[in-house]
Copies of this chain bind each other. A is one copy, B any other.
Amino acid sequence: MELRTLRYFVAVAEELHFARAAERLRIAAPSLSQQIKSLEASLGTPLFVRDRRHVELTAAGRMLLPDAREILELAARAQRRVAGATGPLRVGYVSWLPEQLTASAAVDVRVDEWIMPSHVQIARVLDGGLDAAIAWAGSRDERLDFRLLWPEPLLAVTPAGRTETTVPARKLRVLVDADLTSWQAWNDFATEFAEATGARLVHIDDGGIAGVAFHDRALRLNAPVLMSPKRHFDRLPASLRTRPVVDPCPLWCWSLVTRTNDERESIVALREHASNVIRPAASRTAPIPPIWLPSADPHRDEFRSAA
């Protein structure tokens, strides 16, 4: 059993057609037939029933298929991770990129061009597409190391007419978007925050969590709306003001996310740099207690005293 034969097996299992599978694998059909046959011989059990007209998985084949996929997936990830082990560290971010990250001469960092949501960047770190990411983590993961960079106190926007200087959480509208690809991390945060504080959830589907679409919606709602941490270039309209949120103040914790088992010198240095340089420099805007974090936030314990 080799990875190549497993690839062949998966192809046939997916196509259920030797000729098509062979084409996909860019080998000749007889070769594929031979390889499958030898795989079956080495396993001691047939994987397909070849009715003259149909190809079908046997019970053994059905059992092997998910394992084969998992093995191949793991191998591919391992390869990606090793491939990136040399050269500068590839670091992805979501919407906040601390200046101190690249300023350090100690670590050679290349900031990734792709700006994706937190859950996507974290997935890329796991599968080796990135060495590190600055993102929000919804929950712990044994395979990942999280270093707190900046607990960002989220703000609200209110119509300019209002006179209050802060907004209590329970008075807020909180937007969640139907597009999970883009907003899953935010939705998770927002949903739990609304449940915990009594803020009102507003379901949208136009991506208006950030940018101009967000301003439009805030104006139409004519009420305080929680702002996502997603930065955008568009200036806030004159008719809207930002205000701190209190009772409690929601903290969006930006972490440096790396793989636990990645202990290259450069990665260790980057983690140190995160704790010793970036973290202190980012703590200017202090939240107004009490604060609030999601129940599964990896940094929850670090705020025990303040909560």
Contact = CB atoms under 8 A, between A and B. Distances in A.
Contacts of A263: 59, 62
Interface residues on A, range: 20 to 34
Given A60-B82, A71-B75, A86-B45, A66 B1 contact: no
A107 to B, nearest CB: 14
Contact of A66 (B4, B44, B261): B261
Interface string A1-17: 11110000000000000
B79 A43 contact: yes
A240 interface: no
A47 to B, nearest CB: 8
A4 B4 CA distance: 11
Contacts of A1: 3, 75, 78-79
A49 interface: no
A83 interface: yes
B45 A64 contact: no
Contacts of A2: 2-4
B3 A59 contact: no
A77 interface: yes
A63 B82 contact: yes
A67 interface: yes
A71 B74 contact: yes
Tell me the dominant secondary structure on chain A's binding face: helix
Contact of A63 (B59, B74, B85): B85
A247 to B, nearest CB: 34
A154 to B, nearest CB: 34
18 contacts: A1-B3, A1-B75, A1-B79, A2-B3, A3-B3, A43-B83, A44-B83, A45-B82, A59-B263, A59-B265, A63-B82, A63-B85, A63-B261, A64-B78, A64-B81, A67-B74, A68-B78, A71-B74
Given A2-B4, A64-B81, A71-B75, 11 more contacts: A2-B3, A43-B82, A43-B83, A44-B83, A45-B83, A59-B265, A62-B263, A62-B264, A63-B81, A67-B74, A71-B71
**What 6 pairs across the A-B complex have the smallest Cβ distances?**
A67-B78, A60-B85, A59-B264, A2-B2, A45-B86, A64-B82
